[in-house]
């Protein structure tokens, strides 16, 4: 006796042969070897070409169509890279991998995305060429990564620490595409709030850029639920003149916070709840009231863990004049809250990732006492981790927040300038962290001789070394090309000149880069090279690419009534 499944299995080949259009199609397409690599490289080229035009002081802008509002004008490499989505799936895979390079560099260093993109393209292109001639892709990748390691060591050796406000201004100016005003504003902001102080960038309301120093503290925890958002622009929650409820314990019961909500409502104040967590009945009730009756409230998880969380909550309480509930030493129940137990803040901004408390109403003498306690702990501790955390707390209590307000004549202009200010700020922080090297792509050129110090294990690894040797020339060549001169000639001239001589693309002359202030943060150059080499060399090792076959839905109605006869074949859909 034959079972139905076994009969069906035997019939599948027959059905496929008789009616291929009715059987289920495979949902994936696979390409191998040189064909796959060539298509991916086209995607890499398209993305890199669009990003490369923004590089250097004479780089051009890119206009990006947006699904809402007016087109975006930008000179920011990562913004251009993120906006590209290609129709061909194989090309899109290549483009997406280079997008990852730009994103990784942007997340780690905050700048250098254009450098990372052009380096990734150069390494991938060279890698594909050598592999198509029979080289071993795994050995080439080893050679590439060994060479990159040597270059990074040389970059660290060439790096110099940032010591003066003038150097900070120079780094910021270069990253802002030569805008001296932006460079000076960032330098002044760092001078006011310290190198580890909090600096934010906002839309201004005038034609000029402004710097405002606001007393406050910021921590890396955002709203628990996006339903608390109360601004259409920027996906954030903003309140003025608010009450702050601080709790060390988790809040799950709505009954425990009803007294606090009633007090805040009586005094017509928004309420910010910062606790270990807010969940269950308490969270759902808050969200429901926020949506139904417009209750001015937001819940945020307290930052840190264990003792660090306890200390940060106490810092917040002291800076805002409030009380921490759930603290065993205080012994107060959250249900017994009085108005004087609330912290008071002039302004609160809560985003998905962080919270900023501005203009806290704490007692200055108590804040000063708390700061002295932290300084004493700093002097006595030997742990680097503890020192880092104590310094962060001290900065939040003492230095305040610097706000750079970007001005302009239109939203398009302000947004374009904001991209440059953010890049410049990130570059400056990176420079303070790891020091500076020559700008204009010169630092990478000066690392080329260091590759002679290492010996390849085999010929394929030597090819990997040569790929990096050629790639290190590309950033300087791209900057020169965007300035309208022959890149290869500029690179040769730099290599034959003294160690600090480079090409000033803005003025079209060879100068001492340090004296001229054309410098880059070491961290930005290092991250760009490391991310580019990692992804691009991995891309070269790919031998097969799998993509989804797009559904051709538009062709279905074309059969008209004549297609009805096919209904009898619907049983074949299961085969």
Q: Which of 312, 287, 308, 307 lies closest to 298, judged by CA?
A: 287
d(CA 380, CA 385): 13
DSSP per-residue string spanning 372-422:
HHHHHHHHH---HHHHHHHHHHHHHHHT-EEEEEE--SSHHHHHHHHHHHH
CA distances from 345 to 159, 284, 536 (A): 43, 25, 49
Q: Which of 463, 466, 456, 462 lies closest to 131, judged by CA?
A: 463
pTM of the model: 0.64
Q: Contact at 8 Å (CB) between 536 and 528?
A: no
State residue 557's pLDDT score. Answer: 52
Q: Which of 26, 25, 27, 23 lies closest to 573, judged by CA?
A: 23
d(CA 470, CA 31): 29
Query: Please, what's the b/e burial string for 78-100 (b: 16 or more CB within 10 A of its CB; e: otherwise)?
Result: bbbbebbebeebbbbbbbbbbbe
CATH class of 168-210+406-434: alpha beta
In terms of phi and psi (left: phi > 0; alpha: psi -120 to 50; beta: otherwise), the region of 200 is: beta
Q: Contact at 8 Å (CB) between 302 and 326?
A: no
Residue extents of the structural domains in the chain: 31-160+439-546, 168-210+406-434, 216-362
- 26-31 long-range Cβ contacts below 8 angstroms, 24+ apart: 26/549, 27/548, 27/549, 28/546, 28/547, 28/548, 28/549, 29/89, 29/546, 29/547, 29/548, 29/549, 30/544, 30/545, 30/546, 30/547, 31/90, 31/544, 31/545, 31/547
Q: Contact at 8 Å (CB) between 300 and 221?
A: yes
Listed in sequence order, the residues at least 6 apart from 20 whose beta carbon sits closer than 8 Å to its beta carbon are: none
**What separation, in Å, do the N-terminal and C-terminal C-alpha atoms of the chain show?**
21
Positive or negative, the CA dihedral 262, 267, 268, 271 is negative
In terms of phi and psi (left: phi > 0; alpha: psi -120 to 50; beta: otherwise), the region of 521 is: beta
d(CA 571, CA 23): 10
* β-pair type (355-360, 343-350): antiparallel
* β-pair type (436-438, 519-521): antiparallel
- 31-160+439-546 adopts what CATH topology? GROEL; domain 1 (1.10.560)
The tens place of each residue's pLDDT in the chain, 575 residues long, gives: 445 455 445 555 544 554 444 444 558 888 888 888 889 999 999 999 999 999 999 999 999 998 888 899 998 888 999 999 999 999 999 999 999 999 888 888 878 899 999 999 999 999 988 888 888 989 999 999 999 999 999 999 999 998 888 888 888 888 887 889 999 999 998 888 877 777 888 888 888 999 987 767 888 899 999 999 988 777 889 999 999 999 999 999 999 999 999 999 999 999 999 999 999 899 999 999 889 888 899 999 999 888 889 999 999 999 999 999 987 666 788 898 999 999 999 999 999 988 999 888 888 899 889 989 998 998 888 887 887 788 778 877 875 678 899 999 888 889 889 888 988 888 888 888 899 999 999 999 999 999 998 999 899 999 999 999 999 999 999 999 999 999 999 999 999 998 899 999 999 999 999 888 898 999 999 999 999 998 888 888 888 889 888 776 555 455 444 444 444 444 444 43
User: Beta partners for 350?
Assistant: 237, 355
The angle subtended at Cα 111 by Cα 107 and Cα 114, nearest 5°, is 110
Alpha helices in 2-112 (DSSP H): 4-18, 33-52, 77-83, 89-109
Q: At what angle do helices 113-132 and 474-482 cross, to 10 degrees?
A: 120
**Structure token digits, residue 255:** 């009954």
* CATH number for the domain whose boundaries are 216-362: 3.50.7.10
User: Beta partners for 251?
Assistant: 278
**Structure token digits, residue 395:** 């900065």
State residue 215's pLDDT score. Answer: 66
Radius of gyration of the chain (CA): 30
Q: Contact at 8 Å (CB) between 525 and 154?
A: no
State residue 216's pLDDT score. Answer: 73
Q: Contact at 8 Å (CB) between 361 and 320?
A: yes
d(CA 462, CA 134): 14
State residue 343's pLDDT score. Answer: 94
């Amino acid at each position: 006796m034959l079972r139905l499944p076994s009969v069906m299995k035997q019939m599948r080949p027959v059905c496929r042969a008789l009616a291929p259009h009715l059987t289920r199609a495979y949902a994936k397409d696979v390409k191998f070897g040189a064909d796959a690599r060539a298509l991916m490289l086209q995607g890499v080229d398209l993305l890199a070409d669009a990003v490369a035009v923004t590089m250097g002081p004479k780089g051009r802008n890119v206009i990006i169509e947006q699904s809402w509002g007016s087109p975006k004008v930008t000179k920011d490499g990562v913004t251009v890279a993120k906006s590209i989505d290609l129709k061909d799936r194989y090309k899109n895979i290549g483009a997406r991998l280079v997008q990852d390079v730009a994103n990784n560099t942007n997340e780690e260093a905050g700048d250098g995305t254009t450098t990372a993109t052009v380096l990734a393209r150069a390494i991938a292109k060279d890698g594909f060429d050598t592999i198509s001639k029979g080289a071993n892709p795994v050995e080439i990748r080893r050679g590439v990564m060994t060479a990159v390691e040597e270059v990074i060591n040389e970059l660290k050796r060439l790096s110099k620490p940032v010591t003066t406000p003038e150097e900070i201004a120079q780094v910021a100016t270069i990253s802002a595409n030569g805008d001296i005003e932006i460079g000076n504003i960032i330098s002044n902001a760092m001078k006011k709030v310290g190198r580890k102080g909090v600096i934010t960038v906002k839309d201004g309301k005038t034609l000029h850029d402004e710097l405002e120093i606001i007393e406050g503290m910021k921590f890396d925890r955002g709203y628990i639920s996006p339903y608390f958002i109360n601004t259409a622009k920027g996906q954030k929650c903003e309140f003025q003149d608010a009450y702050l409820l601080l709790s060390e314990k988790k809040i799950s019961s709505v009954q425990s916070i009803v007294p606090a909500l009633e007090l805040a409502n009586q005094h017509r104040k928004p309420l910010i709840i910062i606790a270990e967590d807010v969940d269950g009945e308490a969270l759902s009730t808050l969200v429901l009231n926020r949506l139904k009756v417009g209750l001015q409230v937001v819940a945020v998880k307290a930052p840190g863990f264990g003792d660090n969380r306890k200390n940060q909550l106490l810092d917040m309480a002291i800076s805002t004049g409030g009380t921490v509930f759930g603290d065993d030493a205080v012994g107060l129940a959250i249900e017994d809250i009085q108005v004087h137990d609330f912290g008071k803040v002039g302004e609160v901004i809560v985003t998905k990732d962080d919270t900023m408390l501005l203009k806290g109403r704490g007692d200055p003498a108590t804040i000063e006492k708390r700061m002295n306690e932290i300084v004493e702990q700093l002097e006595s501790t030997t742990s680097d981790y503890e020192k880092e955390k104590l310094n962060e707390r001290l900065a939040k209590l003492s230095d305040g927040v610097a706000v750079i307000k970007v001005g302009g004549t239109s939203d398009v202009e302000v947004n374009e300038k904001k991209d440059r200010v953010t890049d410049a700020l990130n570059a400056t922080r990176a420079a303070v962290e790891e020091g500076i090297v020559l700008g204009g792509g010169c630092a990478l050129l000066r690392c080329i001789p260091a590759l002679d110090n290492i010996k390849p294990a085999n010929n394929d690894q030597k090819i990997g070394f040569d790929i990096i040797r050629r790639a290190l020339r590309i950033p300087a060549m791209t900057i020169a090309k965007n300035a309208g001169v022959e890149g290869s000639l500029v690179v040769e001239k730099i290599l034959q000149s003294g160690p600090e001589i480079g090409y000033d693309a803005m003025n079209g002359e060879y100068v001492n880069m340090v004296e001229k202030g054309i410098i880059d943060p070491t961290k930005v150059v290092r991250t760009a090279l490391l991310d580019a080499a990692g992804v691009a060399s991995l891309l070269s090792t790919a031998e097969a690419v799998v993509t989804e076959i797009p559904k051709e839905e538009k062709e279905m109605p074309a059969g008209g009534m004549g297609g009805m006869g096919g209904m009898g074949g619907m049983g074949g859909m299961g085969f």
